[in-house]
Chain A
Amino acid sequence: MNLKNIFGKKGAKTIKNGIWREHPISSATLGICSALAISNKVENAIAMSAGVIFVLVLTSVIISSMRKLIPGRVRIIIYMITIAAGVTIVDLVLMAYFPTISEAMGPYVPLIITNCIIMGRAEAFFIQNPPQHSILDALANGLAYAYTLLVIAIFREIFAFGTLLGVKVTPANWVDWVVLAAPAGAFFVIGIFLWITRTVAGIEPPGKG
């Protein structure tokens, strides 16, 4: 199982960069806002990640296949329209089939439009690369976003609610850590996550490198 054999040299590099080396949250600090807001419960994190991955892939296909046709001056508007269309699909599907999750996530579903990961990858990658690489990049970045959200959400849900996917996992005399249920508490968890991943990956903080 060698990534290079399956995806080619460039494809393998794209995947590695997206998932680890240029991790959208810990390296580029993109998408922090939704990672803070929506990572309090695992089911929300899964729904959010699925939505973001879907929109990312859709955007990557459309933008990268049209990249030679899009005039440079209006490219941002084209990104926005594409992303908005994808987000509307996600929003309507959630509302139709998963009304409880849709209600729990509230305004954060439409706010996927402003998720900097999608905009950032469109501008940095999709507009310059052919569709096959762009899809890999979109998947890699989406997966990176998803596993980050999952790790944080697992941690927060256990500590803040004593549950995991709604199932009680803590002892009966467990005391909930109320602070971790609030977005403010997510700052500490994300901070530690960034610290660990950046140290392991050897990413220097800006200004020092």
Chain B
Amino acid sequence: MKWLHNLFDSFRPHFEPRGSLGYLKPLFEAIEFIFFYPAARTASAPHVRDPMDVKRYMTIVIVALLPCIAASIFFFGPRVLLMILVSYAVGGLVEVAFSCIRKTEIHEGFFVTGIIFPLILPPATPLWVVAVGIFFGVFFGKEVFGGTGHNIFNPALVGRLFVTIAFPTILTSGWTAPGAWRGAVDAVSTATPMALAKTQAVLTPVADLLMGAQSGSVGETFRLGIIIGGIFLMLTRVSDWRIPVSYIGAVFVFAFGGTVLGGLFGGAENAAAANGLVAGAFNFGIFQVLGGSVLFGAMFMACDPVTSPFTRNGKFIFGIMCGLLTVVIRVFSGYVEGVMFSIVIMNAVGPLIDHMVLSMRYRKAQA
């Protein structure tokens, strides 16, 4: 490694403010940082004792995503890798350009955005749509607000929302059938489990949902891998367990409770009908949790520490409201999936939730 260190040292003068490539200093530092710890040391207290920095957090998230990525390549073919590549290239360009203009260091937050974005798109999304989406997400979702740590909305979701609204036909039709790329199935594209449930009232079996052999967004179908990755994130304390747990719990409770209430008001008088209603509602609740992208959204996007509340009670409120909105949008609106909308809406009111929680706590302490 000594020669590599010398190589960096020999290049460094060019990237100093007066050097010939001074305007690319952030890029140089970012590349150096991949191999070595930064040369800068904290000069005065507090000194950093834990090597756990933003880069390590991001690495852990990517490790947690690996099962989903592997499964998505298995289901939807090497095209997924191409989508990730495009996402990284375009988004990285925006990130580097802004860092060079602002003369700040390049933040590692982008590594997660760049990999999550292709995972929440339909598998047949054209590559130029991936490029437009990630450009918009990073540009308007993050850089306009001041870069990593200053964004109000999850950048990947901002990009996804934009392409959904801008290219509705592409984004609602690209549901490649899993395995179609290696000729394992005849169908080229099939309806997603959520669409089947909405239009034909067909609930996909739980085991199928867990193993992920249905159509859906690239990274959302292998639910077992998502659950494992999500638990890994919670155990390493990278994500707070409160948001995923309350989100997923709320989706189940509202789907189950809503169906039961609806059935009771619809007139299920005798005992047999009531029993059937409860069993049906239970199945519906489980389906609402496993189907679509609730798991992926809850485990990897809702709990993003930048865009979610920081108070503990606020996290519970955030998760429960996300769950309520998801069920409401899924059941009552024209859209088949509501995870994306619910998380973005709750991102917007996240700071308000924090404010409410803090002021209530403060009032109680004063009284």
Q: B180 interface residue, CB < 8 Å from A?
A: no
Q: Besides the contacts A175-B170, A178-B165, A180-B166, what 13 more A-B pairs have beta carbons closer than 8 Å?
A: A175-B167, A175-B169, A177-B166, A177-B167, A178-B166, A178-B167, A178-B168, A179-B162, A179-B165, A179-B166, A184-B165, A185-B166, A188-B140
- Main SS class of interface, B: helix
**Distance between Cα atoms of A180 and B169 in the complex (Å):** 15
Contacts of B162 in A (CB 8 A): 179
8 Å CB contacts to B: which residues of A163-209?
175, 177-180, 184-185, 188
- What is the interface size of chain A, counting residues whose CB is below 8 A from a CB of the partner? 8
| Shortest Cβ distance from residue B147 to the other chain A in the assembled complex, whole angstroms | 16
8 Å CB contacts to B: which residues of A128-152?
none
- What is the interface size of chain B, counting residues whose CB is below 8 A from a CB of the partner? 8
**Distance between Cα atoms of A118 and B162 in the complex (Å):** 34
| Shortest Cβ distance from residue B24 to the other chain A in the assembled complex, whole angstroms | 21
**Distance between Cα atoms of A184 and B140 in the complex (Å):** 14
Contacts of B167 in A (CB 8 A): 175, 177-178
| Shortest Cβ distance from residue A180 to the other chain B in the assembled complex, whole angstroms | 7
**Distance between Cα atoms of A188 and B141 in the complex (Å):** 12
**Distance between Cα atoms of A179 and B170 in the complex (Å):** 13
| Shortest Cβ distance from residue B97 to the other chain A in the assembled complex, whole angstroms | 14
**Distance between Cα atoms of A179 and B158 in the complex (Å):** 13
8 Å CB contacts to A: which residues of B159-202?
162, 165-170
8 Å CB contacts to B: which residues of A15-73?
none
Pairs A-B, 7 closest by C-beta atoms:
A179-B166, A179-B165, A177-B166, A178-B166, A175-B167, A178-B168, A175-B170
Chain A CB within 10 A, most for which of B162, B166, B170: B166
Contacts of B168 in A (CB 8 A): 178
**Distance between Cα atoms of A177 and B168 in the complex (Å):** 9
**Distance between Cα atoms of A177 and B170 in the complex (Å):** 11
| Shortest Cβ distance from residue B135 to the other chain A in the assembled complex, whole angstroms | 12
Contacts of B140 in A (CB 8 A): 188
8 Å CB contacts to A: which residues of B76-124?
none
| Shortest Cβ distance from residue B90 to the other chain A in the assembled complex, whole angstroms | 17
Contacts of A179 in B (CB 8 A): 162, 165-166
| Shortest Cβ distance from residue B160 to the other chain A in the assembled complex, whole angstroms | 13
Contacts of A184 in B (CB 8 A): 165
Return the chain B residue nearest A177 by Cβ. Answer: B166
Return the chain B residue nearest A182 by Cβ. Answer: B165
Return the chain A residue nearest B170 by Cβ. Answer: A175
| Shortest Cβ distance from residue B133 to the other chain A in the assembled complex, whole angstroms | 12
16 cross-chain CB contacts under 8 A: A175-B167, A175-B169, A175-B170, A177-B166, A177-B167, A178-B165, A178-B166, A178-B167, A178-B168, A179-B162, A179-B165, A179-B166, A180-B166, A184-B165, A185-B166, A188-B140
Contacts of A178 in B (CB 8 A): 165-168
Chain B CB within 10 A, most for which of A179, A180, A188: A179
**Distance between Cα atoms of A177 and B165 in the complex (Å):** 8
Contacts of B169 in A (CB 8 A): 175
| Shortest Cβ distance from residue B265 to the other chain A in the assembled complex, whole angstroms | 37
Return the chain B residue nearest A180 by Cβ. Answer: B166
| Shortest Cβ distance from residue B41 to the other chain A in the assembled complex, whole angstroms | 34
Contacts of A177 in B (CB 8 A): 166-167
Contacts of A188 in B (CB 8 A): 140
**Distance between Cα atoms of A184 and B162 in the complex (Å):** 11
**Distance between Cα atoms of A188 and B165 in the complex (Å):** 13
